[in-house]
Amino acid sequence: MSDLATLTLAGARDALRRKKISSRELTTSFIKEVEGARGLNAFVTETPELALDMATRADARLSRGEAGILEGVPLGIKDLFCTKGVKTTAGSKILGNFVPTYESTVTRQMFDAGAVMLGKLNMDEFAMGSSNETSAWGPVISPWQRKGSNTPLVPGGSSGGSAAAVSARLCLGATGTDTGGSIRQPAAVAGITGIKPTYGRCSRWGIVAFASSLDQAGPMAHTVRDCAIMLQAMSGHDPKDSTSAPIAVPDFEAAIGKGVKGMRVGIPKEYRLDGMPAEIEALWAQGIAWMKDAGAEIVDVSLPHTKYALPAYYIVAPAEASSNLARYDGVRYGLRVNGDDVIDLYEKSRAAGFGREVQRRILIGTYVLSAGYYDAYYLRAQKIRTLIARDFEQAFEKCDMLLTPTSPSPAFGIGEKTDDPISMYLNDVFTVTVNLAGLPGISVPAGVNNEGLPLGLQLIGRAFDEATLFRAGQVIEDAAAFKARPDSWWK
Amino acid sequence: MSVDEKTVRKVAKLARLAVPEERLAPMAGELNKILAWVEQLGELDVNNVEPMTSVAKMRLMRRADVVNDGNIADDLMRNAPNAIDNYFTVPKVVE
């Protein structure tokens, strides 16, 4: 039996193919881990019977030599992906009893590739949050704790259940989605790897929509290689999503190991924020040194409109959300509260079904799109988005990728930032630019701070050049030799 | 620009969201904090900048205009909170 404490997705895949272990054995072990970690609140729905059934079928295919990319590998699925016959809530009361009758394209592709689903993972309501505290099903507790303290910390968000489940080793990988940083920021603060691919790389069909021009699915796992394997299965053109790119998917895993010798790594000076914690500054300097040691050329670049990205995002994302969330009306599906007339029914159902942050964003979005304000807010934000994308285009004339910190701080305590939305929004200051420009970004664990909490480095690439991020991400992973693990206090 | 209780009431109506009277003032405060923060976008001169309407540099893909799905009424009704004989129900709208 493989040791779950060190097993990677790639290692499990290889062991399954060499028949050193069966998917049923592996899945049974992980089901026990999931059951033993309920205190973390990472899973909102456990599907052990389905998992064992999928594992049995994977074993049959393995024995016939028909293994898919993820054959027999137990994974967790963020509760934003519609899963046929399995409750999908998006972390919201309004979808509290919603059971999709269809499968999202990304999960369909993963299951076709042999993946085993252990269950659905907790998340911020409709993916709106950076700490997993807006979930209708309660916060996720990070497996990580500060040295000598048992203060419960957040796992980051919005893919907080995914980050916690992977870092607590309850599954070998998990799907996430990233609208402003929701894969990369939780990956960074939970000490795992996560990539937001280029907009259009993964189909959005069947993923509960938040902000359609920003949303992308991606993998979260222990290593860069594990993410490459998962993304391979998740990617590809889907006619059901009109923004899905009809572009061939390269062999991501094959890019790993090629190193970065002779590549140019850009360092954007605007990411050096006033008052940035010294530990983040030091980590970034360390990352630059690692890249230099590996033979990369370091280039100073400028992304002059960086400071406008977050405020522009908080116009674009709520505007799109207010439109996307208009579908929850208490009539066709979802929570219903009866009213005196149909308008009253809509208003009461939505007030009862949506949590506080979601309501706040719907109101902001409705306001910035309302007559008389559209030009001042939404149109202006769209123009700023053009400027931000142009900044990246100009930077990529001088370099092949950018290196930045992922998150401005390590994990914080539950409840520490919930009173001030803007201080919460600032968690995404280094990640949100990438969504606005539609580019790929990867976060790789790079070290721990003096309290023992993980910190991540982010690499940003050209559109559809995830291969370079896997290649360079592996260089950081090798140099960092990140071995820190949370103590298993929840067991 | 800042919003008052009256504006919050109007926007909540547009958003079909019941906001209780006592929540209007605090909500106006919360929204104003966010709006004051995004105000910094006004610093930039964006007169000659095209708005980004599509993040991907490609033409929107189209599917063939053919029927390729259907006869799934039961699936469509399965999550309806209140249905009668494959009809969604709402309170009476015609007197």
Query: Digits of tens for pLDDT over chain A (491 positions)?
Result: 458 889 999 999 999 999 999 999 999 999 999 999 999 999 999 999 999 999 999 999 999 999 999 999 999 999 999 999 999 999 999 999 999 999 999 999 999 999 999 999 999 999 999 999 999 999 999 999 999 999 999 999 999 999 999 999 999 999 999 999 999 999 999 999 999 999 999 999 999 999 999 999 999 999 999 999 999 999 999 999 999 999 999 999 999 999 999 999 999 999 998 888 999 999 999 999 999 999 999 999 999 999 999 999 999 999 999 999 999 999 999 999 999 999 999 999 999 999 999 999 999 999 999 999 999 999 999 999 999 999 999 999 999 999 999 999 999 999 999 888 888 889 999 999 999 999 999 999 999 999 999 999 999 999 999 999 999 999 999 999 999 999 999 99
Distance between CA atoms of residues A443 and A73, nearest Å: 22
Q: Indicate which residue of A22, A23, A182, A244 is catalytic.
A: A182
Distance between CA atoms of residues A156 and A261, nearest Å: 33
* Residue A247: half-sphere exposure toward Cβ, Cα within 13 Å: 20
In a domain, A221, yes or no: yes
CB-based contacts of A143, cutoff 8 Å, min separation 6: A40, A155, A164, A167, A168, A190, A486, A488, A489, A490
Return the CATH number at A182.
3.90.1300.10
| Residue A158 among the catalytic residues | yes
Q: Contacts of residue B70 in chain A, CB cutoff 8 Å? A: none
In a domain, A257, yes or no: no
Inter-residue contact A367 to B12 (CB < 8 Å): no
pLDDT tens digit sequence for B11-70: 999 999 999 999 999 999 999 999 999 999 999 999 999 999 888 777 777 888 999 889
In a domain, A397, yes or no: no
Inter-residue contact A171 to A30 (CB < 8 Å): yes
**Into how many domains does chain A fold?**
1
Q: Contacts of residue B54 in chain A, CB cutoff 8 Å? A: 213, 243
Distance between CA atoms of residues A380 and A451, nearest Å: 42
Among positive and negative, which fits the CA dihedral A301, A307, A310, A314?
A: negative
Q: Which residues pair with A265 in a beta bridge?
A: A298, A401
In a domain, A43, yes or no: yes
In a domain, A383, yes or no: no
Is the minimum CB–CB distance between A362 and chain B shorter than 8 Å? yes
Give me the torsion for CA of A411, A417, A421, A422, rounded to 10°: -70
In a domain, A148, yes or no: yes
| Residue A78 among the catalytic residues | yes
Encoded tokens for A390: 């142009």
Best B31, B61, B89 residue to mutate vs chain A (most A CBs within 10 Å): B61
Is the minimum CB–CB distance between A28 and chain B shorter than 8 Å? no
CB-based contacts of A229, cutoff 8 Å, min separation 6: A9, A10, A13, A69, A70, A252, A253
pLDDT at A1: 46
Distance between CA atoms of residues A77 and A91, nearest Å: 13
Q: Running DSSP on this structure, what letter comes out for residue B51? A: P
Q: Contacts of residue B15 in chain A, CB cutoff 8 Å? A: 322, 350, 362-363, 366
Contact B31 A213 (CB under 8 A): no
Of A215, A83, A205, the closest CA to residue A158 belongs to: A215
In a domain, A198, yes or no: yes
Distance between CA atoms of residues A279 and A281, nearest Å: 5
Of A18, A93, A79, the closest CA to residue A44 belongs to: A79
Q: Running DSSP on this structure, what letter comes out for residue A139? A: P
Query: Whole domain around residue A213: which residue ranges?
Result: 2-241+445-456+467-480
How deeply is B71 buried, as exposed, middle or buried, from its count of CB atoms within 10 A (0-12, 13-18, 19+)? exposed
| Complex prediction ipTM | 0.96
Inter-residue contact A163 to A220 (CB < 8 Å): yes
Distance between CA atoms of residues A427 and A243, nearest Å: 28
**10 Å Cβ neighbour count for A482?**
22
- Give the C-alpha distances (Å, rounded to integers) separating A239 from A144, A200, A233, A329: 41, 11, 17, 28
Distance between CA atoms of residues A123 and A200, nearest Å: 23
Q: How many CB pairs under 8 A join A and B?
A: 168
| Residue A182 among the catalytic residues | yes
In a domain, A403, yes or no: no
Distance between CA atoms of residues A218 and A201, nearest Å: 9
Q: How far is A416 from chain B (nearest CA, A)?
A: 18
Q: How far is B20 from chain A (nearest CA, A)?
A: 9
Q: Which residues pair with A405 in a beta bridge?
A: A457
Contacts with B, A 42-81, CB within 8 Å: none
